[in-house]
A and B are shown apart, each in its own frame.
Chain A
Amino acid sequence: MEQLNTWFTQLLADNEIFTAQTIGYYAHGLANTAQLVLLSLLIGLMLAVPLAIGRSSSRPWVKWPIFLYTYVFRGTPLLIQLYIIYYGVVFVDGIQDTWLWLILEKPFYPALIAFTLNTAAYTTEIFRGAIKATPRGEIEAARAYGMSQAKMLRRIVLPSAFRRALPAYGNEVIFMLHASAIASVVTIMDLTGAARFVYARFYAPFDAFLFVAAIYLCLTFGILYLFRYLEKRLLAHLKPQT
């Protein structure tokens, strides 16, 4: 341990880039990225569940507006959505004087809104697929028991749909983490923003970006591990029996 410590101190002694200050920037960036991604995923998930149920409804006036929403947000790049929500709204006359400006003034909330709407659109479609794939037999059995529509959703359709959606949703979480790298274009100091800052300051692209890539890898590893654990717990009944 002692040896490792001296080795580490020596390693850091003759570098000009990774000082306490720049490490601080990275730490700050990590906090911003984590906040953005976690919040947008959480809110997105809460939005996606009712939207997915609506999207699988047979009533056209419920189904089509939701389809339009997911189509627009899956059909345009997240970067464009972010630009519209951050820079575009500025051109609405007098928006600075309304309460909306409290939300839109700082870059954090516009980015959060863009990320949330985007991930909610993808998650809606993931869940809709899972709901649609509910075996007919399960639904017929629920009807035979005399369950109401709501009870059937709560007890039969959604629990099995969540399980089926889990692997695809894990991917969406990782995509969202990586998509959050564009937050730095609206001046948020996220992980990528910190890396770009260090790069521009020291003209050291390799050091700055390799370091941040390593952090993203660690985060992705954590997400993968979490979902593997969840899949093991929740999808145990699908494992081949020995």
Chain B
Amino acid sequence: MKKLLTISLLSAAVLAGTAQARDYDTVRFGVDVPYEPMEYRLPNGDLTGFDIELGNALCDEIGIDCTWTVQGWDGIIPGLLARKYDAIMSSMTINDQRRKQVLFSDPYFTPPSAWFAPADSQITVPSKQTLEGKTIGVQRGTLQDNYATDMFGDVADINRYSTADDMVLDMDAGRLDIVFLDFPVGKSTLLDSNDGDYKIVGKMISEPKKYFGDGFGIAFRKRDKELAEKFDAALDTLKENGTYDKLYKKYFETKQ
């Protein structure tokens, strides 16, 4: 039995090694839901979210069909390698560890951070001048902490909190002039649950890479280089023709 297994594994490995990259007319995506607003289900059960819509738009651009397969996060890379689907588009952060197993497309998204301040705040654009002498709230040890410390640590006071709850409490109390948060966290804790008390200040920030990382990429099997290149080209087109911006606005901009 063991021998048989070894032989079949060996032959599988040989087959996989020699198999030629094939042309796809349907690409099956693996996705782990829910992770709002990147991927989640509507009340009627349909999948939607930034990843899903962008994935479908990319397929349209290439001229192929896409289907979506739901797969739990811990088995999502093994599922790709076992050919249950052909690509993963599920808010996967590009890193070297994963690069050993899969081939990533160009990053298509970096989760943004944003500045939040009380609605009556005078600060319009966060900069060294406008934040001088102000108190900035961040969560200790987050990338937002690193960014704010390096950029404004010399002109502003930085209060570091263990939890986002403590920070929101101090913001409510009026002890903080402005906070720098992961955008989805800030949106749910400050914008959605307090109607009109807080606002976003300035643009969303996801640069430079040194602080905010490589962002999310689509993962392919290593031998599907051609397919990855097609997606990269399609992504460039969508970014140029405005489709990407439209989707970005739909999911990451709040009505003000």
Q: Tell me, rounded to whole Å, the shortest Cβ–Cβ distance linking A23 to chain B.
A: 15
Which residues on the B side are within 8 Å of A200 (C-beta)? 140-141, 145
Given known contacts A87-B169, A187-B159, A105 and B146 CB-to-CB distance under 8 angstroms: no
Is A187 in contact with B174, judged by CB distance below 8 angstroms? no
B245 at the interface (CB under 8 A from A): no
Which residues on the B side are within 8 Å of A197 (C-beta)? 140-141, 160
Q: Write out, one digit per residue, whether chain A residues 47-67 have a CB within 8 A of any chain B CB (1) or not (0).
A: 000000000000000000000
Given known contacts A87-B166, A197-B140, A201-B146, A187 and B160 CB-to-CB distance under 8 angstroms: yes
Which residues on the B side are within 8 Å of A193 (C-beta)? 160
Instruction: Pick the residue among A96, A199, A201 that contacts B174 (CB under 8 A).
Output: A96
Which residues on the A side are within 8 Å of B169 (C-beta)? 87, 90
Q: How many residues of A contact B (CB 8 A)?
A: 16
A185 at the interface (CB under 8 A from B): yes
Nearest-neighbor residue (CB-CB) of B161 within chain A: A187
A131 to B175, CA, bound (A): 44
Given known contacts A185-B162, A187-B160, A187-B161, A196 and B140 CB-to-CB distance under 8 angstroms: yes
Given known contacts A87-B169, A90-B169, A201 and B141 CB-to-CB distance under 8 angstroms: yes
A96 to B118, CA, bound (A): 15
Which residues on the A side are within 8 Å of B166 (C-beta)? 87
Which residues on the A side are within 8 Å of B140 (C-beta)? 196-197, 200
Nearest-neighbor residue (CB-CB) of A87 within chain B: B169
Instruction: Pick the residue among B141, B160, B162, B173 that contacts A90 (CB under 8 A).
Output: B173
Nearest-neighbor residue (CB-CB) of B140 within chain A: A200
A189 to B172, CA, bound (A): 21
A193 to B159, CA, bound (A): 11
A185 to B163, CA, bound (A): 10
A189 to B169, CA, bound (A): 19
Which residues on the B side are within 8 Å of A189 (C-beta)? 160
Q: Which of B5-48 contact A (CB under 8 A)?
A: none
Which residues on the B side are within 8 Å of A107 (C-beta)? 159, 175
Offer 17 A-B interface pairs, CB within 8 angstroms, sorted by A.
A87-B169, A87-B173, A90-B170, A90-B173, A96-B174, A105-B174, A107-B159, A107-B175, A185-B162, A189-B160, A193-B160, A196-B160, A197-B141, A197-B160, A199-B141, A201-B145, A201-B146
Q: A106-B175, A196-B160 are in contact. List 19 more A-B contacts (CB 8 A).
A: A90-B169, A90-B172, A90-B173, A96-B173, A105-B174, A105-B175, A107-B175, A187-B159, A187-B161, A187-B170, A189-B160, A196-B140, A196-B141, A197-B140, A197-B141, A200-B141, A201-B141, A201-B145, A201-B146
- Interface residues of chain A, those whose CB is within 8 Å of chain B, are 87, 90, 96, 101, 105-107, 185, 187, 189, 193, 196-197, 199-201
